A and B are shown apart, each in its own frame.
Chain A
Amino acid sequence: MSDTDIHSQREAPPGTAPAAARELRTEEMLVNMGPQHPSTHGVLRLMLRTDGELILEAIPHIGYLHRCAEKIGENVTPVQFVPMTDRLDYLTGMNNNHGFSLAVEKLCGLEVPERGHYIRVIMCELNRIASHLVSFGCYGMDIGAFTPFLYGFREREYILDLFEATCGARLTYNYLTIGGASLDLPEGFVERLAWFLDYFEPKIDEYNNLLSFNYIFIKRTANVGVISAADALAYGLTGPCLRGSGVKWDLRRCVPYEIYDRFEFDIPVGVPGGNAGIPPEVVVGDSWSRYYVRMLEMKQSVRILRQCLKQLAGGEFRAKVPRTLKLPAGEVYLEVEGVRGQLGFLVVGENKPIPRRVKIRGPSFCNLCIVPHVCRQVLLADVPAIVGSIDVVMGEVDR
């Protein structure tokens, strides 16, 4: 690395620094952050080019969790592939099942019965809350607060209990499947869910008191890793990362799928500081906004769930799906609003039970692309703050 290069990275022209300061200039250091590192959320590896505590460049290296998910999809039937989708973003198994099932149903022209729709929405929104709870807790951990992590997991436990009662699994569910859900809701599910919603809603304020509006937390995350709306769109960010930058875009509302048009809910977006209880340090598109959008989304999910419970219809929970479902020739690409952004599935059929091609658009993968752009001229402690606020799950990035 030549002399001029370093100075151009530091954004200070060589002439402005006094001669003594240039004499004291230290060497740059390449540091490997990950794949085994407490705050890279799995196996993300970041190559950091640092000048002391200053990060000049952060280059993500991925692929440590590659499991050939798409290739497996081309070798098994869609029903067999549903369990594989659980393992993409292992925190949002239900949403993944749902997205893939929708794509296959669209390709085959299957109709899902009314109750099946509601079960799907209930499960997706519950899983959204569960995933955001993990995200909230881990983000606290990235900033150095340990307790929110356990608080998040405490409430997530109730949701996992509900899932366990429904389908027997707590993490990889294989529950929402082609044509609806694989089982009906268990006895007493509605009452338990209603109790949980009443219990959970005040807890969000508890989290906000503990972490979101903590002075140190705001100082650490507000105005850190700011992504402008233009940048967010240019890099293809979706989900809370996009909404944190102030873009009001949510597929559930903007391109309604499933039965989301029947519910009333808001799309929370990043708001400039000083408005309506938002701390004055906050800038639209910073880490705090991305984090806070998730907290608000949990409240919206609770709203949707309450309406679901009111409207929940009886009847069949799964359409009649033939034993060997033949995928007609043609291709379908369908995106749903996953927890971390738009989760897309491309399924190409060729009149056989096994698809010709399965392609997955993982929101974490696209969101991760912005890391090198944002992690520039920041401090070392800001890297976990930024990567944590983008909230990637490596299972989905590497697939």
Chain B
Amino acid sequence: MGSILRKVALPIFLIGVAAIMGIAWAPALLCGTVDSMRDDLGTWYKWDLRGERPTLTVGNIRQYLEGSIEGQFAPAAHVRFGHSTAVAFAYVLWPLQFRITRDVLAVVGVVGFVSLFAMFAIWWERKVAARMQSRLGPMRVGGWHGWAQSLADGLKLLQKEDIFIEGADRPLFRMAAYVAFVPALGLFIALPFSAAWIARDLDVGLIFIFAMFGVGVLGVLIAGWASNNKWSMFGAMREACQMISYEIPLGFALLVPIMTVGTLRLTTIGDLQSGGFQTWLAFRNPFLLAAALLFFIAALASCKRAPFDLPEAESELVAGFHTEYSGFRWALFFFAEYAEMFAAGALAAILFFGAWHSPLPAAWGESWRHGPLWQQALHGVVFSGPLWLIGKGIFFVYVQMWLRWTLPRIRLDQVMYACVQVMLPLAMLVLLANTFWEWLVPSRSVLGMAANAVCTAVGAVAVLAIIGISIYGFVNRRRLVGTLVVKHLPGA
């Protein structure tokens, strides 16, 4: 039985990946490509028409070819290069180089952001954990609070031997780390950092990201299967049943804001929340607030973070699915985990907590945009989309870390119970209730505005409490960590 599975595992896996990618990607890419082509053409057209420079611009060539303008310059190109070359240049090569440049920039940006963020988050998690545990965490590498610790760890991991244990399924073993890492990277393609800072503004961006989350599970499953280790296998099986179960309440929780805004395009969802703190979707009505909580918990489980970190439960499964991994392959799993953590936080921000908008209404900043330089600069800081989105993402990552270093781990049967018996009915109920709310209660009515005000107050208190406790802990850190540690603090 085992040997047959071993032989068919690769084809089954490849077909599975192809099917999932086909289902998830094809429509997404198609919509995105067509859209962006139309947008591109429109932009260049306008740009080229604006100036009256007598130069060889694409727009001019194009218009000449289409017979809409007469010019002295265009026939020159026509004569010099020939008609077909001009056509190829104007309609294929010139747009293509724009798109290639843009895509290369996007890929470099995404890879760079994910790598940098993962390194930062690993260092930061160690510091957060240390502060919560009366320790100092990394203090040596790089000088200030060991900021270069992740860098040093990464270099160390690069140098380590790439170990394959005996009996491991080598191709699958190699592949698993990539299958876990690539989707975690890929979902950033459709994740908007602001209305403009997005690699591909897909019509179905949310579904694309959701699908990428789903593909990531395959990597863990393959890793557990290919490792030839019973602990890894346990971890993989746990991951499988946990992920598959929690995607359902996660999906239901996502449907709630989708139903309210009526679109799957993340940039549109974000721009609907530009009117300040009280217009953020989570504070629109109580059910959206509940959906935000459900989404956050289900996302915790999907990112296998504590208290749902069963697939890598150290005290039970040694290291779970990555027990047999070493060196950079092991690091890839971690990169994927932190990337997914950020993506979950950013998604929560986009869907529920005002996306890339500051808590102040965006309209307040409109006049600054055209004011003197200092006002423009202020606008760039206070209303900067990417800054706010990354900040919100980091805030949610921080809450995830906080939970991890406070709570014990749940048992497998309790995880499943919480999903099927608690979260799923609750998510369905919230979806249903939101349907009726949106149908019966207009947002301009007294009830709608009262609910909005109450939810805003609750949200403000929660956010302020979390930030306040953190600041209190930071300010009083010397007293809270105890005298023994203070002895070793720098400057003590």
Contacts and interface: CB of A to CB of B under 8 A. Distances in A.
Contacts of A216: 307, 407-410
A140 interface: yes
Given A144-B306, A146-B405, A379 B411 contact: yes
Contact of A380 (B234, B306, B485): B234
B318 interface: yes
Nearest to B129: A146
Nearest to A141: B315
A143 interface: yes
Contacts of B230: 29, 31
Contacts of A29: 230
5 contacts: A144-B309, A144-B407, A150-B134, A216-B410, A219-B410
A297 to B, nearest CB: 22
A140 B134 contact: no
Contacts of B405: 146-147
Interface of B: 129, 132-135, 230-231, 234, 237-238, 306-307, 309-310, 313-318, 405-414, 482, 484-485
A116 B491 CA distance: 43
A51 interface: no
Given A29-B230, A380-B234, A217 B408 contact: yes
B133 A145 contact: no
Contacts, number: 88
Contacts of B409: 143-145, 216, 220, 381
Contacts of B317: 380
Nearest to A140: B408
Nearest to B317: A380
Contact of B314 (A38, A151, A210): A38
Given A31-B230, A216-B307, A146 B411 contact: no
Given A53-B234, A380-B234, A380-B317, 16 more contacts: A29-B230, A31-B231, A53-B238, A140-B408, A144-B313, A144-B315, A145-B409, A146-B129, A210-B406, A216-B409, A219-B411, A379-B413, A380-B316, A381-B310, A381-B316, A381-B411
A382 interface: yes
B133 A150 contact: yes
Contact of A39 (B129, B315, B482): B315
Interface in A358-374: none
A214 interface: yes
B135 A150 contact: yes
Nearest to B241: A53
Q: Which of A29, A53, A211 has the most CB of B within 10 A?
A: A53
Interface residues of A, number: 34
A220 B408 contact: yes
A148 B318 CA distance: 20
A381 B414 CA distance: 11
B408 A38 contact: no
Mostly, the A contact residues are: helix
Interface string A366-399: 0000000000000111111000000000000000
Q: Which of B129, B238, B306, B409 has the most CB of A within 10 A?
A: B409
Contact of A220 (B231, B406, B410): B410
Contacts of A382: 411
A249 interface: no
Contacts of B238: 53
A262 interface: no
Interface string A197-211: 000000000000011
A154 interface: yes
Q: Which of A146, A147, A211 has the most CB of B within 10 A?
A: A146
A335 interface: no
A86 interface: no
Contacts of B407: 144-145, 214, 216
A243 B306 CA distance: 32
Contacts of A383: 316
A38 B318 contact: yes
Contacts of B315: 38-39, 141-144, 384
B401 to A, nearest CB: 12
A52 B129 CA distance: 33
Nearest to A48: B230
Nearest to B229: A31
Nearest to A146: B405
A154 B411 contact: no
A379 B412 contact: yes
Contacts of B132: 147
Contacts of A219: 410-411, 414
B479 to A, nearest CB: 13
